[in-house]
Structure 1
Amino acid sequence: MSLSHPLLGAALILASIVDGGCYVGVDNDSAGQGFTAGLTQGASAGSSSDSAGSDSAGSDSAGSDSAGDDPPPELAPAPASIRLLLNRHYRNAIRDLLGEGAAAVVNPPLDTPINGFDAIGASQLALSDASVEAYENSARAAAAVAIQDLGRIGALMECQPQGPGDSECHANFIRNFGRLAWRRPLTDDEVGRYVAVAQTAALDNGDFYVGVENAIATLLQSPNFLYMVEIGEADPEDQGRRYLTSHEMATRLSFFLNDTTPPPWLLDGADDGLLDSPGGVRDAARVLLDEPAARVALDNYFAELLRLRSLDTLAKDSGVWPQWSPALAQAMRTETLMLIQDVVWQRDADFLEILDAPYTFANNLIGPLYGLTPPGGGLWGDAFVKTPLPAESKRGGILGQGALLSVLAHISSTSPTLRGKFVRETLLCEAIPAPPPGVNMVIPPEGEALPTMRERLQAHLTDPGCAACHVAMDPIGFGLENFDGLGVFRTMENGAQINTASDLNGAAFDGARELGAVVREQENVPLCIIRNLFRHSTGHVETTGELPTLMLLDDVFAEHDHSLQDLLVELVSSPTFRMVGVPE
């Protein structure tokens, strides 16, 4: 029989979920004992846990209210929606559900970013026929591998099959596995439909486990697995707003903080309603942030935000930069991520330090590229070591690292425009409009009259059609011209002295470290950090009705000395993360 399961359109799914009423909290045979020891007490304050499987959303304010636990009247969340799992979400979910072997054989569609974020693309783009086929093939392959591990399958059943047609045992497996895969309990009707799938296959083949295989493959093709459903339940105080249910919160939390499906303990907490309150969400978030997966998830986020993923395919002219290699590209990626890891995880320091940190992490590829001396003397090795940066090098923070300086450059030259655009758009969250039609994009060629990139671009800026936008970007990049297209320090270009004195919004700087310090003082930078995290975690650009709540988080971020760990906890427990609007 075919293992295909129809992938419904987003509108149909939304309609069926909203019109059908509450779809969770039914027949939960495997409800757990709540959060891990020490978490239950803090999480349950203000939550409803009268009966296992309850999934009513609430707005109690257990825990700190520094971010404002109750939604402000002006909060107008974006419409409720569903969004496709990202490629890594899918792979990690299969790994955690069915094991490494099953994860190794799946091939889900690649992500397509919109507005710079994969998550926004996952919210807006429709599935193609090729994507549907990829999900079907992946589900088949994962199920075929999973069924070979009867120990894992048996752990999901509280029974011993008594022959191919043991429908009760099939139902037991489907109820338990389905709850993990769909991230909520299945209804009786849903269990019955998948038991029918399993029974048909098992009886046709005379094998109970062929039925299990078919059930797995079919459950994994359901929109309930492939999509994060974020519909919520109506706020009794405002019918235009909806609280995410406890199970929806478990899903949003886990995929944001750990890049994978909710673990059983988190679903147990959702069954008990422990994610209905801000305090419960905070407690769960802290546990998730203690997982090794949180570090990997944050690496993935910054690899996306800081363009580090493009290093894998970045082309450079070997005649200009013969030292460019895949190994150097990987070292640059590692350097940047290690700086972030040091600030966020090792020291839990002011996150703004990544902008002007007077140190980096270098090895035998990065150290010589920057002209650095190994700390303590000796020779550079493969291992990365924390290395101070001399003040005269003008290098500091992520803006002085090879990763960004390489990505924000052309194949054989630097690009002050790209570097300035990155600062404006990614660090300051300012919009740079596209060039108007018919504008001459050609930069004057280098020569004796215009030997440096700064001089060539300044000549280009005499065109009024160019100057309107480039004046906001190019001067920022001029201050980084001491660093070539790989991030190597230089003072001359084509025999001419490079002038790197510049300013950002009237604040003078010269070099990457000074630019980082100036950026750090811009009042909209902390809010921009919050906005970027919000876009990544929710799959949409913040609406005007959500921005005031994010601005409250800006104050909390400052109160917590710009600790990113604390910000993540406060973000996920804030009303704007826990609420959605009415589906469109």
Structure 2
Amino acid sequence: MMHVSPAQFRAYLWQGHDSGAIAEGGKGIRHLAVAGMVFVLVLLAYLFPVGGSDAPSPAMLAKAPHPLIGKYCMSCHDSVEKTAGLAFDEMSLANPLKAPELWEATVRRLSSGMMPPAGEPRPSKAEARELIQAITSSLDGAKPSPAPAVLRRLTRSEYDNVIRDLLGLNVDVTTLLPPDPSTKGFDNIGEILTTSPALVQGYLNAGMRISRLAVGDPTMASARRAFPVPQKLDNSRYIAGLPLGTRGGVRLNVLFPVEGDYEVEVRAGPGITLFRKYGGGKMPNVDLTVAGKAFPVDSKGKARVHVRAGEFPVTVALRDVDLEPGVDEIYATFNVKGTIMDVAVNGPFNVKGVGKTAARSKIFSCYPSKPMEERVCARSIVARLAGKAFRRPLAEQSAEMDLLMRYYDQGRRRGNFETGVQQALAYILVDPRFLYRVEQEPAGAAPGSVYPVSPIEFASRLSFFLWSSIPDDALMASAVSGKLTQPAELERQVHRMIADKRADAFVDNFAGQWLNLRQLASAERESKDFDDNLRFAMERETKLLFANVLRGNRPAVELLNANYTFVNERLARHYGIKGVQGDYFRRVSLPPGNPRRGLLGHASVLTVTSVANRTSPVIRGAWVLENILGVPPSPPPPGVETNLDASVKTPQTLRERLAQHRENPACASCHNMMDPIGLTMENFDQTGKWRTHDGPFPINASGTLVDGTALRGSADLNRALLKYSDAFVANLTSKLMTYALGRPVNAHEMPAVREVMRRSKSQGNGLISIIMGVVESKPFLTRTNPARPLGPPSRSTRTEESQAEKKRKAA
């Protein structure tokens, strides 16, 4: 029997009927028409109750791939209605790989309570578990192969870290290389890390400059390096790490590549006079120190300093104008207004020598005492540096080394032994084996075949996952010996790496992107409470929480309900937490019901999910759906864009304006999921500060989730989300695997995600346990050959490569 929806049935009833003709047929006909309409309406009310969806026919129910899908889903998701493009009667659990993306989307929505929609009959908890188990068992039993890996170049962040670990050099590569694009929340996704001619030129320039800074070139010309100071920095208070008796300012770590004279220039903003009258003379208002030694600035804000080669701290701050010199001013009230705009370092001048730096110590593992020893020593240096840079051992006597030594020979002919090493290093830093994470296919690997990566390639995957950098000697030695892939050794190495300071890069790059913390840097908020001190403190709090859960192998769900947080004085004042003084962060306990428990109470998250002049329940709700539950809402349909600030002429609460927006049926389906979540967070303003009123309107932080859970504020929201902790862990695991693999996790890799979850659940879902599951998963341990061999590069690509090779040789 053909299934007919109520809409189709009503259209059929009225099709071809003319109300005027009925009126002309007389009273009897009118009565008959009315009686017929009553009968139809009664019949419709019986067959299709108000508030329910179209009930599927028995024949359609028989086509349901599972009885519970027939009971709760087929009324909307069959081949007739096909809501959201989903028709379960066209799908089969016996062969789930015909539509794996749709099945995985079903699992996500069931696991997060977002399906069925609000107002529809819902399965019980036991029924939901049964259905999820049926779907996932079918998907996992199909054993799909991981997606093929793509060639990945180093991101700008990875490049920065590799230079630090390879050469002991901290270089701000943001001035040398452009930012990387981002997709699926991360900037290390291989498919979008393209290489343009401009980027090739940037790598060439960076290679030449970095190699000269690392070796130390006494012939280098003087140059100006500017270090901007955040312009919204609160300069009214003492900042930890700066000289006592100062306020505001900044501490920088500056590389002085050779020993010689340098000119430090301080530019002050409006309201700052560089000198003040004192006694019969003048005293500077600017406090400058270089390598711990104070230097006076002249009337132009400049100071000439002599510095040995190396990286040293430079501090610039403001002095008080009222108190006498020598008075302990740390708790004084300062009266100087304005700020330090930027600091610049010019030089070197009068070079005295290259000195001894951390970079030279890493480079020159030997040094010839006689000319005949130069090439042997150089070969040893170049082989060691290239092996580290290419992430694999390199034999000193090999064809690869013969090529690299040509660049040493070119440099040696133009200068001396160090010039030759610098030239070889410059080539290493632009070699594709350095810039790209190359993995070799085994000989004879068939298209579509799955094979394990080598232990050395696995070490590189592991180090870039946890450190965003190259393997260290200990990790590489473990890989070369073949021990790294043994479970006990792998676990030991992972714990060692996470405890290492280099794992801060994992916190910065993974947590910073997953939680959108990077958006804080550009956030502008119309609030007198918002300044750069608070901006930095917000980000620091969230990263410290993530790092604490990570390094303590705490349960991942602690990110949602931690009964503690980390604050300094500035952030504590913003939160209304008393008894916290000083700029350093310390752990503070939070009592039950405190709104700051977990990520949703962090000002960082609340700020990046707002707009400049108000909160945004929509953005906050979407952030929770995507980053916590893993069910991102669909983008708004074209032409449905509403300015909530200007949608009405009379003042209304944001809640009322959103309700008006949801009257549009095209908007309601998504907003019914997002808005109730975001509205429960309305007690936090656009900078995350607690409030009870929004202007003249009292805050109403109530809402009802799709599953019918009534909420009365953010504390209720936290408790409600904990009911879906499995969805949170699944989403976190999927994000971790995406970041680790450098490609979006597709439906074929979700069985591996669930296997990680099963293993980590038996260990309390500790964050390290989840990470261990990721690095021991099939997608991380193996590589899939593309189904078709990659074709030759396009003509434009070959032209770019040819131009790059010419530039490299010219350099």
Q: Taking structure 1 as the reference length, what is the TM-score of the superposition?
A: 0.80
Stretch of structure 1 that moved more, 463-472 or 336-345: 336-345
Structure 1 unaligned blocks of 5 or more: 1-70
Show the counterpart of 1:301. 510
Show the counterpart of 2:662. 461
Q: Does 1:579 align with 2:788?
A: no
Residues 509/230 of structure 1: CA separation in 2 closer, same or farther (3 Å cut): farther
Counterparts of 1:526 and 1:277, CA distance in 2: 26
Tell me if structure 1 keeps the 8 A contact 2:606–2:687. yes
Counterpart selection for 2:154 from 63, 77, 85: 85
Q: Does 1:519 align with 2:682?
A: no
Show the counterpart of 2:165. 96
Pairwise mapping of residues 44-193 of structure 1 onto structure 2 (< 5 A)? Answer: 74-100=143-169, 107-120=176-189, 122-148=190-216, 150-155=360-365, 157=366, 160=368, 162-163=370-371, 167-186=375-394, 188-193=398-403
Structure 2 unaligned blocks of 5 or more: 1-139, 217-356, 791-811
Could you say what secondary structure the match of 2:747 adopts?
Answer: coil
Tell me if structure 1 keeps the 8 A contact 2:622–2:632. no
RMSD over equivalenced CA pairs, Å: 2.7
Show the counterpart of 1:329. 535
Counterparts of 1:146 and 1:105, CA distance in 2: 18
Residues 75/236 of structure 1: CA separation in 2 closer, same or farther (3 Å cut): farther
* Greater per-residue strand proportion: 2
Tell me if structure 1 keeps the 8 A contact 2:156–2:174. no
Deviation of 1:323 after TM superposition, in Å, equals 1.1
Stretch of structure 1 that moved more, 296-305 or 418-427: 296-305
Q: Does 1:560 align with 2:729?
A: no
Stretch of structure 1 that moved more, 282-291 or 443-452: 443-452
Stretch of structure 1 that moved more, 428-437 or 277-286: 277-286
Deviation of 1:356 after TM superposition, in Å, equals 2.0
Deviation of 1:410 after TM superposition, in Å, equals 0.7
Amino acid at match of 2:404: Y
Structure with larger Rg? 2
1:484-534 alpha-carbon deviations (Å, 9 max, x no partner): 111122222232332212233423333333322322321311111101111
Stretch of structure 1 that moved more, 509-518 or 164-173: 164-173
Deviation of 1:210 after TM superposition, in Å, equals 1.9
Could you say what secondary structure the match of 1:546 adopts?
Answer: helix
Residues 442/350 of structure 1: CA separation in 2 closer, same or farther (3 Å cut): same
Q: Does 1:361 align with 2:571?
A: no
Counterparts of 2:679 and 2:544, CA distance in 1: 27
Residues 447/382 of structure 1: CA separation in 2 closer, same or farther (3 Å cut): farther
Residues 79/285 of structure 1: CA separation in 2 closer, same or farther (3 Å cut): same
Counterparts of 1:488 and 1:336, CA distance in 2: 16
Stretch of structure 1 that moved more, 227-236 or 479-488: 227-236
Q: Does 1:534 align with 2:743?
A: no
Deviation of 1:169 after TM superposition, in Å, equals 3.7
Deviation of 1:274 after TM superposition, in Å, equals 2.5
Counterparts of 2:631 and 2:500, CA distance in 1: 34
Residues 82/380 of structure 1: CA separation in 2 closer, same or farther (3 Å cut): same
Amino acid at match of 1:98: L
Residues 386/267 of structure 1: CA separation in 2 closer, same or farther (3 Å cut): closer
Could you say what secondary structure the match of 1:386 adopts?
Answer: strand
Amino acid at match of 1:368: R
Show the counterpart of 2:28. none
Counterparts of 1:461 and 1:308, CA distance in 2: 29
Show the counterpart of 1:247. 456
Counterparts of 2:153 and 2:163, CA distance in 1: 15
Tell me if structure 2 keeps the 8 A contact 1:232–1:248. no
Percent identical residues: 29
Counterparts of 2:443 and 2:632, CA distance in 1: 34
Counterparts of 1:235 and 1:463, CA distance in 2: 59
Show the counterpart of 2:701. 500
Structure number with greater CO (CA < 8 Å, separation at least 6) is: 1
Provide the aligned length of Structure 1 versus Structure 2.
Answer: 502
Deviation of 1:481 after TM superposition, in Å, equals 0.9
Q: Taking structure 2 as the reference length, what is the TM-score of the superposition?
A: 0.58
Could you say what secondary structure the match of 2:177 adopts?
Answer: coil
Amino acid at match of 2:536: Q
Deviation of 1:380 after TM superposition, in Å, equals 3.5
Tell me if structure 1 keeps the 8 A contact 2:520–2:604. yes
Could you say what secondary structure the match of 1:427 adopts?
Answer: helix
Residues 438/105 of structure 1: CA separation in 2 closer, same or farther (3 Å cut): closer
Deviation of 1:241 after TM superposition, in Å, equals 0.8
Counterpart selection for 1:422 from 623, 645, 649: 623
Counterparts of 1:578 and 1:184, CA distance in 2: 17
Show the counterpart of 1:199. 409
Residues 235/478 of structure 1: CA separation in 2 closer, same or farther (3 Å cut): farther
Show the counterpart of 2:480. 271
1:25-79 alpha-carbon deviations (Å, 9 max, x no partner): xxxxxxxxxxxxxxxxxxxxxxxxxxxxxxxxxxxxxxxxxxxxxx997141121
Residues 207/417 of structure 1: CA separation in 2 closer, same or farther (3 Å cut): same
1:223-269 alpha-carbon deviations (Å, 9 max, x no partner): 11111224554899996112111121111111111222111122222
Counterparts of 2:171 and 2:566, CA distance in 1: 36
Residues 245/82 of structure 1: CA separation in 2 closer, same or farther (3 Å cut): same
Show the counterpart of 1:10. none
Could you say what secondary structure the match of 2:188 adopts?
Answer: helix
Tell me if structure 2 keeps the 8 A contact 1:282–1:572. no
Residues 280/390 of structure 1: CA separation in 2 closer, same or farther (3 Å cut): closer
